[in-house]
Amino acid sequence: MNVSSALRFALAATAASLLLAACVSTPPSPPVVQDTTTPAQRLAAVEAIAGVDDTELSVQPLRDAQVDDLRENAISKRKAGDLAGAAEDLNQALMLVDNDPGILQERAEVALLQADWARAETLAKKAVDLGSRTGPLCRRHWATIEQSRLARAEKENAVSAHAQIEGCTVPGIKRF
């Protein structure tokens, strides 16, 4: 075999290799599962986890009349779909009493409805730090944290928050 035949053979082999390489495809990437949970569904999950249990002690602080008015206005605005107005009323209430876990939680829930996941988690965490470690309000705090993490696709962190919810329920005293 002479040099020109060897060169043609090498070029033909290279061309064949390139053609075969072009036929090889990469495996398709797994489909991305998009979370379609709405903010209202996330809030419904929070409310469902909180539950209504008359057997638990729920301690509520005494509130200033102005704060109560702001809370009531916020509830009305939220029901009417005015989330920005509800948030503003709760922000004003928090300027008066920034350490009230109930108001912090209500503001966190409005943030959840506004799809402001980071704010919802921040407010709920502050409420956890200031509030009771048991009862429906405690469960609402942790459920809000869980939902905000799920919304941001932080599944492992959401599982961690969900695990805290069980600790918020203290079994009743059995009397014989």
Could you tell me where the beta strands, DSSP code E, fall in the chain? none
d(CA 54, CA 2): 97
Q: What is the pLDDT of residue 35?
A: 75
Chain centroid, CA 83 distance in Å: 18
* Residue 132, pLDDT score: 82
Tens-place pLDDT, residues 131-152: 888 899 999 999 999 999 999 9
pTM (predicted TM-score): 0.75
- Per-position DSSP letters for 88-113, written without gaps between them: HHHHHHHHH-TT-HHHHHHHHHHHHH
The answer to whether 97 touches 103, Cβ cutoff 8 Å, is yes
pLDDT at 125 over 60: yes
Using CA atoms, how far apart are residues 92 and 3, in angstroms rounded to an integer? 88
Is residue 53 predicted with pLDDT exceeding 80? no
